[in-house]
Amino acid sequence: MPERETTTCCIAGGGPAGVMLGYLLARAGVRVIVLEKHKDFFRDFRGDTIHPSTLELMRELGLLDEFLKLPHQRVPSIGGLFGDYAFTAADFSHLPVKCKFIALMPQWDFLNFLSEHGKRFSTFDLRTEHEAVGLLESEGVIKGVRVKTPQEEIEIAADLVVACDGRHSTVRDAAGFKVIDLGVPVDVLWFRISRKSEDSYQALGRIDYGSMLILINRGDYFQSGLIIRKGAFDSVKEAGIPAFHESLLRIAPFLGQRVKEISNWDQVKLLSVQINRLRKLYKPGLLCIGDAAHAMSPAGGVGINLAIQDAVATANILAEPLRAGRVTEDLLAKLQERREFPVRVIQAAQERAHNASLNFLGHPEKAHAPWQMRAFFKIPGIRRIIGLGIGLGVRPEHIHSPLEKSVIRDTM
């Protein structure tokens, strides 16, 4: 028989939602095991935009000053080039928070930082190389998870299992949840190109000659994303690497010979963009949050921050009931009611943005910004409004879960 352990809350997935939720619940005195199937958090091309809403949460937790000592780049506004038209889409300088900027930071640095601080609490247990592969169920109630490690398979019994294992969630599928796929007409090709200190920089990217190129400043290189029509990657590969280089140079000629740093398709990763959500996020003993509950597009870089907001709301509502052993379906329904509205609003905005991109994707001629776009960005205050929507999101959460001082380790 597999070895069996017991905890109060078992979180499947060590991404932003899982680690933040584990930290907050452990901080509140709830015994937590966080399962991460990899050895560490180091995986490239993960979301790395830490928005002002998340930075404000770090301030509320008393971690901000230390957090900002980690290497990062600060983006006080985002914009781009549409043909020859330079525009600013979002201005964060007037947000009612301390950090009026997006921090660009590798996601693994964020996760390492938060998990190291989680170890301050005796109730926090992060297990790497532990993959949730199934559920323990009895009479329609989820009682825990089956876990695969490099050595063995174990069972972890828990009062509540939280699925944070991403858009391809094993836990969600094992529970039989139905996913509503909203459909997306585009994909993203992610790759790296070296960056020079004199390079001009626009976080949102460049639109020209039927393409959109995203350039995210990572210090000495750009994390780059080329937007393509859904399913078009095979055609791009068939055209060959030289044609790929030419397409990048047409839209960003300043890159010059650096495009040749991409010498084979192994250096290019396809992100199949999805927008979907669950009709119901829970069943007795189980809750889905983050990408496991609603996959977001990269548009606006909001996915990581929305997942973190989910985690904060979950801890706010469930921390004390978990300690008391009285998590009910009514509480899980309350959580879904709170988080469903922002998800629907943001996904609707992303759908509109993707559908609008079809007006220029694939058209090889020089792009010219339409008059409607120019007129839109002349509306007084519109950049601040967009900055508020991207920077703080819809219905931003704040830390209300308690700090249980008795679980703080004396040695930390």
DSSP 253: G
- Confidence at residue 219, expressed as pLDDT on a 0 to 100 scale: 81
Give the 3-state secondary structure of residue 152.
coil
- Confidence at residue 211, expressed as pLDDT on a 0 to 100 scale: 86
- Confidence at residue 201, expressed as pLDDT on a 0 to 100 scale: 61
CA distances from 307 to 86, 225, 246, 342 (A): 31, 22, 37, 11
What is the Cβ-side half-sphere exposure of residue 201, based on CA atoms within 13 angstroms?
Answer: 20
Instruction: State the pairing for strand pair 205-208/77-82.
Output: parallel
Rounded to an integer, the average pLDDT of 399-410 is 93
Instruction: State the pairing for strand pair 141-148/186-194.
Output: unpaired
| % of the chain residues with pLDDT over 90 | 77
For tokens 């290497």, the residue is 71
Instruction: State the pairing for strand pair 286-288/282-283.
Output: antiparallel
Condensed to tens digits (0 to 9), the pLDDT of residues 160-187 reads 999 999 999 999 999 999 999 998 899 9
Rounded to an integer, the average pLDDT of 10-27 is 97
Cβ-count burial 260-288 (b if 16+ within 10 Å, e if not): eebeebeebeeeebbbbbbeebbbebbbb
Condensed to tens digits (0 to 9), the pLDDT of residues 34-92 reads 999 999 888 765 668 899 999 999 999 999 999 999 999 899 999 889 998 999 999 99
Give the span between the Cα atoms of 195 and 223, in whole angstroms: 9
- Confidence at residue 199, expressed as pLDDT on a 0 to 100 scale: 84
- Confidence at residue 308, expressed as pLDDT on a 0 to 100 scale: 97
- Confidence at residue 359, expressed as pLDDT on a 0 to 100 scale: 81
205-208, strands of its sheet edge to edge: 85-91, 77-82, 205-208, 211-217, 221-229, 186-194, 269-271
What is the Cβ-side half-sphere exposure of residue 258, based on CA atoms within 13 angstroms?
Answer: 17
Condensed to tens digits (0 to 9), the pLDDT of residues 254-308 reads 999 999 999 999 999 998 888 999 999 999 999 999 999 999 988 888 889 999 9
- Confidence at residue 281, expressed as pLDDT on a 0 to 100 scale: 97
- DSSP letters along 206-225, please? EEETTEEEEEEE-SSEEEEE
- Confidence at residue 412, expressed as pLDDT on a 0 to 100 scale: 45
Give the span between the Cα atoms of 277 and 180, in whole angstroms: 5
Phi, psi of 103 (to 5 degrees): -100, 120
Rounded to an integer, the average pLDDT of 214-227 is 87
